[in-house]
Amino acid sequence: MPLPHHARYEYSPIPARADFAWPEGKRLAVYVGMNVECFGFASGLGAELAPGGPQPDVLNHAWRDYGNRVGLWRMIELFDRLAMPCTALINSEIYAAAPGLAEAFLARGDEIAGHGRSNAERQGILPEAEEAALIAEATAVLTAQTGLAPKGWLGPWISQSAVTPDLLHEAGYEYLLDWCHDDQPTWMQTRKGRILSVPYPQELNDIPQIVGRKREGAEFCDMILAAFDVMLAESARRPLVMGIALHGYIMGQPHRFYHLERALTQLRAKAGDAVWFATAGAINDHFRSLGL
């Protein structure tokens, strides 16, 4: 009996693919995925600093809120100092929960991508009509706030149903970030056409590493530098995408931020002119232009 298959893409070994380059002949594209999230008080989902008690779970709610009040602003200042662009992955409810925060990323010229309504819920457990309504609602808010429809989407908690790529394509999205299966963009089939999967990291992601695996900031940032060294060398043979996924309430904490600043500063210095520091949307645009 054959294994069940998602039918979104076929197996493709990376050495066998067509060669290409990023703008100006660069071979490694690096982007920061900055998660800008909000959570319901005494209800819904949320990452935990410590095992939660009965609701209202003030400790964990306040810890997450620190990211929007302090941590993300600290990180924005770092991105400004390093001239580092990012893709801001925006919960649409953030405009009401933290006025001015999403606007600060837009003012920097960062890409604004969809990230659901909030991270207090998962879209993938909803019936199809309700999931489509969630996508439409979040998209309408981001479009109204920025003047542009978002091109990319990351599901809250990487949550997808069996039809999420179809719904995103039908809602006008060009790329999604939920699948961590490759180091190059991948075309995915939907019921009405193709959508691009842009690599989004689950290893170089502070939630799985620090919350899930209980690593700390120094080790996480050493992982960023190690991955960069390997991928920069490998990019001589094939073009690659390196993403770094961050959350303000985790890496915006002072003791972890110290290491993040160290890692990104070293990464910038090592890169020289050999690396394209981009956004996920720019990676999508360039790959599409290649006609692969």
pLDDT, tens digit (0-9, with 9 covering 90-100), for 188-217: 999 999 999 999 999 999 999 999 999 999
Task: Please give the pLDDT value at position 53.
Answer: 82
- The answer to whether residue 1 sits within a structural domain is no
- The answer to whether residue 6 sits within a structural domain is no
pLDDT, tens digit (0-9, with 9 covering 90-100), for 26-79: 999 999 999 999 999 999 999 999 988 889 999 999 999 999 999 999 999 999
- The answer to whether residue 231 sits within a structural domain is yes
Cβ(42)–Cβ(52) below 8 Å: no
- The answer to whether residue 4 sits within a structural domain is no
The count of other CB atoms within 10 Å of the CB of residue 291 is 6
Structure tokens at 12: 């493709």
Q: What is the mean pLDDT of the chain?
A: 97
pLDDT value at 272 more than 90: no
Domain count, the chain: 1
- The CATH number of residue 65's host domain is 3.20.20.370
pLDDT, tens digit (0-9, with 9 covering 90-100), for 96-155: 999 999 999 999 999 999 999 999 999 999 999 999 999 999 999 999 999 999 999 999
- Residue linked to tokens 């493709």: 12
For the entire predicted model, the pTM comes to 0.97
Within 8 A by CB and 6+ apart from 183, the residues are 14, 199, 231, 240, 241, 242
Give how far the C-alpha of residue 6 lies from the chain's centroid of Cα atoms, to the nearest Å. 22
- Residue linked to tokens 């719904």: 167
> DSSP of 144-170, one letter per residue?
HHHSS---EE--GGG---TTHHHHHHH
Residue-range definition of the domain harbouring residue 215: 22-39+57-290
Cα distance between residue 203 and residue 141, in whole Å: 30
- The answer to whether residue 44 sits within a structural domain is no
Task: Please give the pLDDT value at position 52.
Answer: 83
The count of other CB atoms within 10 Å of the CB of residue 116 is 25
